[in-house]
Amino acid sequence: MRRRPFVAALLPVLLLASCGPASTTGSSGTGGATTELTVFAAASLRVVFDEVGLEFQDAYPGTSVRFSYGGSADLISQLDAGAPADVLVTASGPTMDRAIDAGAVTAAPVVIATNVPVLIVPADNPAGLTDLESAAAPGVDLVVCAPQVPCGAAAQTLAENADIDLTPVSEESSVTDVLGKVTTGQSDAGIVYATDATDAADAGEAVTTIDLPGADQARTEYPAAVTAFTGQPEQAQALVDFLRQDPAQALLADAGFQKP
């Protein structure tokens, strides 16, 4: 897979094709106007969406996309506070429902991918953990996402289904923060998505992944939708549609996401 890293969480990807009439934000470098779309996306999509952006540039010349990544709940709060975005992609249906209830999204969302939670530990697994029960034992520094965050809701579902009480030492606002606590040795274990564990390994970060029984029952969906605030709904919808097609779907699969 091509890797062309971005250097900020909110970063323009200059694309080289036109989507049709829209507001202009500058020159495309060839004398044509540039359409700019802002996408709010769940943190667990960061690596693969950077790649999807590079593919989108080939399909839609003259369009520029800015990606802003974060915890899904935080993204909804930003929209509520008036932050502009054309497209929203969350890591759960209930989180997207919040945006719909708040009037931030009016178009019907479409699910672009699914994901499952896993347990990760530092590569040397100093606490000798083998499963969710051992990770919940006294004295183990377990980190999870906060309950209002999709990865936190997935952790709760796992624990409830297994009849295990989780006692995390920290509840983070995004799955990226959980991953960081484990990869830097600040915690003995964390619950993240399978794709995040894959991304960490690809980036050379030392973690060991432990698959969890019942993970399928805690599966999360990633819905995408055009926001109510976009001034270019046709272009925004074109991006949402693109996420459901190849090559976007192929890139999502390569990153470990499962089909809708």
* 91 and 185 part of one domain: no
CA distance 70 to 19: 27
In this structure, the number of other CB atoms found within 10 A of the CB of residue 41 comes to 25
* Local confidence band at 228 (pLDDT 50, 70, 90 cut-offs): very high
CA distance 63 to 52: 14
Note the pLDDT of residue 18.
32
* 126 and 158 part of one domain: yes
Q: What is the mean pLDDT of residues 48-75?
A: 90
Report the domain count for the chain: 2
* 131 and 193 part of one domain: yes
List, edge to edge, every strand of the sheet that includes 207-210. Answer: 170-172, 142-145, 189-193, 117-122, 207-210
Please give the residue range of the domain that contains residue 80. Answer: 10-114+221-254
* Local confidence band at 53 (pLDDT 50, 70, 90 cut-offs): confident
pLDDT tens per residue across span 95-125: 999 999 999 998 899 999 999 999 999 999 9
* 101 and 140 part of one domain: no
More confident residue, 198 or 21: 198
pLDDT tens per residue across span 64-101: 889 999 989 899 999 999 999 999 999 999 999 999 99
Domain containing 238 — which CATH number? 3.40.190.10
Domain membership of residue 244 (yes or no) is: yes
Q: Can you give the three-state secondary structure of the chain, one letter per residue?
A: CCCCCCCCCEEEEEEEECCCCCCCCCECCCCCECEEEEEEEEHHHHHHHHHHHHHHHHHCEEEEEEEEEECHHHHHHHHHCCCCCCEEECCCHHHHHHHHHCCCECCCCEEEEEECEEEEEECCCCCCCCCHHHHCCCCCCEEEECCCCHHHHHHHHHHHHHCCCCCCCEEECCHHHHHHHHHCCCCCEEEEEHHHHHHHHHCCCCEEEECCCCHHHHCEEEEEEEECCCCCHHHHHHHHHHHCCCCHHHHHHHCCCECC
Q: What is the mean pLDDT of residues 26-38?
A: 63
What's the angle, vertex CA 105, arms to CA 155 and CA 9, rounded to 5?
60
In this structure, the number of other CB atoms found within 10 A of the CB of residue 35 comes to 27
* Local confidence band at 32 (pLDDT 50, 70, 90 cut-offs): low
* 86 and 131 part of one domain: no
* 66 and 16 part of one domain: yes
pLDDT at 167 over 50: yes
Note the pLDDT of residue 33.
55
Q: What is the mean pLDDT of the chain?
A: 86
Domain membership of residue 4 (yes or no) is: no
Domain membership of residue 236 (yes or no) is: yes
- Among residues 139, 135, 222, 131, the alpha carbon closest in space to that of 175 is found at 222
Domain membership of residue 193 (yes or no) is: yes
Q: What is the value of pTM for the model shown?
A: 0.80
Q: What is the mean pLDDT of residues 185-192?
A: 96
